[in-house]
Structure 1
Amino acid sequence: MRDLHQTDSVTASRSDARAQGGATSDWMPYLPASTSPFIPKGVDPTELVWAETVAPGGYTHRVLARGTRFRLDDPTGDACANVLVFNALEPWERLNVADTQKIPWQAYLGQGSPLLSGDGRVLASIVEDTSGQHDAFCGTSTDAWNDEKYGDAAPEGPSPSGRSLFAKAAAKHGLSKRDLPPSVSFFQGVHVEPDGTLTPTGSAGPDRHVTLVAELPLLVLVANVAHPLDPRPGYTVGPLRVHAWRGSATAATDPRATATPELHRAHLNSIDYAEARGL
């Protein structure tokens, strides 16, 4: 390493650091977002506000404006996007997985599904889904789980847990572990059997994506880690691509908002909150 980097003086260190300025990685944010080599078809590059490839075992986070579309892509079929969303204005309002399942009568996430807060508001809606293999039952992996299964759970190690990565992402926004509720995950499915057993159904294959719309200003945390029920003995997870672009929140008359009485009320709650704040 010493032969590669000359850092024996301030001047040499500065030169060495500047020499790394053009370096790239397979796992990185693209700045500006319009320079992403993986821009989704039909998306105007100038409208992009976030573009990133998240490493296997990596994490990311972003604050997004109301109406922003954000798309998760699984290019290999092995990504597992564990996601938490918070009201960015008042982050004590956050994803409530139990309400997300029971209020809209949805055990399984898919196109049209809302992600609800405990205050009865839609934080985000799934507007496009080519995977259908998701999980709102298990949450993400813990340190104890990964220590037992893989022998390590450190966030900088070979098999980080989702909770440890969420904690790192949350800390960058002034939140702590106690602020982290159960999460949902995309691209690795789970099915509930008649006897209550949870059966992993795996991936729908490569080149699948899910697109959500932010119904309120959102803080989004993403941990790309192996699903806790993945039956494979090794820590298996592929890269995850994230893109976000400007758009509009769901209107009160949109078919997505009026599909059921429960959805209509939840969307009206979100719209009322946003309009009162001039959003």
Structure 2
Amino acid sequence: MAAPSTATTAGARDHARAQEAAAEGAGHPRPTYPASARPTPPEGVAAADLVWSETVAPGGYTHLEVAPGTAVRLTDLTGDACAHLLLFHAGRPWERLNVADTVKVQWQAYPTAGHLLLSDQGRALASITQDTSGRHDTLFGTSTRARNAERYGDGDAHGPSPAGRELLALAGAKHGLTRRDLPPSISFFQGYRVDDAGRPRPIGSAGAGAYVTLIAELPLVVLVANTAHPLDPRPDWSCGPLDVVAWHPVPVASGAPSRATTPEGRRALERTAAHLATTRTPAGGDR
């Protein structure tokens, strides 16, 4: 069936609505709104506490802003998702995820539950509280347009093999961020290890249903691109759907693994708590 003509206002309206229907039919659903309407909330989470629920299609992206204490869960629905994540301090975008500091400050290149995601200001942006995957990467960043064009023939954000940096640039633009604001990202669900000879070795995914839960330690802008890892060994671009759900702030228990972290991690948490204490708006007043 021919696409509606856009020569008239009515035709343009019909064309726009047809595009929405085609996107949903091609596996690009819109976020669940309200999030409480999600058919299956995470176990132990009340539907009323959900603030975000979305399935990010292969080659898609999402972005959200969350308050401190908000839980954000990423789930690999088919075992083929690869979530490339960036975090920014909301309202202070010059403070952002620093993957190098995240690795070196905690003496750990392979983060999992109990580890922190650190900023370039020495503060904890988020803590990883749950991880059923264990297949992540802090070393190799995300894919670029030029590299995907070389490997797959196209790296455009709207093409058949979109690059992660292109998708993150689109997500960041929704929050006033430019390409210059995008640091190296961390990726989840497609694991890589460096062997004794210094070569990266893929270890694949943990399979369908694996998830990672983050708790925001500061008010955050969260950017997520779902696209193939830059070192994916397969000759053809491949990626699966990613579930993203967030729920209202939940306290992190004092005995949680992320609170029993390294001395360096504890200092990062202390700096975060001090920052929140000195910037919190007093009750009934303005700053």
TM-score, normalised via structure 2 length: 0.90
Q: Which residue of 2 aligns with 1:127?
A: 129
State the alpha-carbon separation in 2 of the partners of residues 109 and 138 from structure 1: 14
Q: Which residue of 2 aligns with 1:155?
A: 157
Q: C-alpha displacement at 1:260, in angstroms? A: 2.2
State the alpha-carbon separation in 2 of the partners of residues 53 and 188 from structure 1: 18
Q: Which residue of 2 aligns with 1:89?
A: 91
Q: Which residue of 1 aligns with 2:138?
A: 136
Q: Deviations over 1:208-238 (max 9, x none)?
A: 1000000000000000000011111111100
State the alpha-carbon separation in 2 of the partners of residues 16 and 83 from structure 1: 33
Out of 210, 213, 218, which is 1:211 matched to?
A: 213
Out of 106, 117, 120, which is 1:118 matched to?
A: 120
Out of 264, 269, 279, which is 1:277 matched to?
A: 279
Greater alpha carbon shift after TM alignment, 48-57 vs 8-17: 8-17
The structure-2 alpha-carbon separation of the partners of 1:17 and 1:261, relative to structure 1 and needing over 3 Å to count, comes to closer
Aligned residue-pair number: 278
Q: Deviations over 1:12-70 (max 9, x none)?
A: 66578679988955332111111223422221111111110001000110111111000
SS in 2 for 1:167: helix
State the alpha-carbon separation in 2 of the partners of residues 208 and 109 from structure 1: 15
State the alpha-carbon separation in 2 of the partners of residues 249 and 144 from structure 1: 43
Corresponding position: 1:241 with 2:243:
yes
Q: Which residue of 1 aligns with 2:81?
A: 79
The structure-2 alpha-carbon separation of the partners of 1:255 and 1:231, relative to structure 1 and needing over 3 Å to count, comes to closer
State the alpha-carbon separation in 2 of the partners of residues 275 and 251 from structure 1: 19
Out of 31, 34, 41, which is 1:32 matched to?
A: 34
Matched residue type, 2:183: P
TM-score, normalised via structure 1 length: 0.92
Q: Deviations over 1:60-85 (max 9, x none)?
A: 10111111000001110000000000
Identity of aligned residues (%): 54
SS in 2 for 1:220: strand
Q: Which residue of 2 aligns with 1:228?
A: 230
**Structure 1: gaps (5+ residues):** none
State the alpha-carbon separation in 2 of the partners of residues 52 and 15 from structure 1: 25
Matched residue type, 1:115: L
| Aligned-pair Cα RMSD in Å | 2.2
State the alpha-carbon separation in 2 of the partners of residues 122 and 96 from structure 1: 10
The structure-2 alpha-carbon separation of the partners of 1:55 and 1:272, relative to structure 1 and needing over 3 Å to count, comes to same
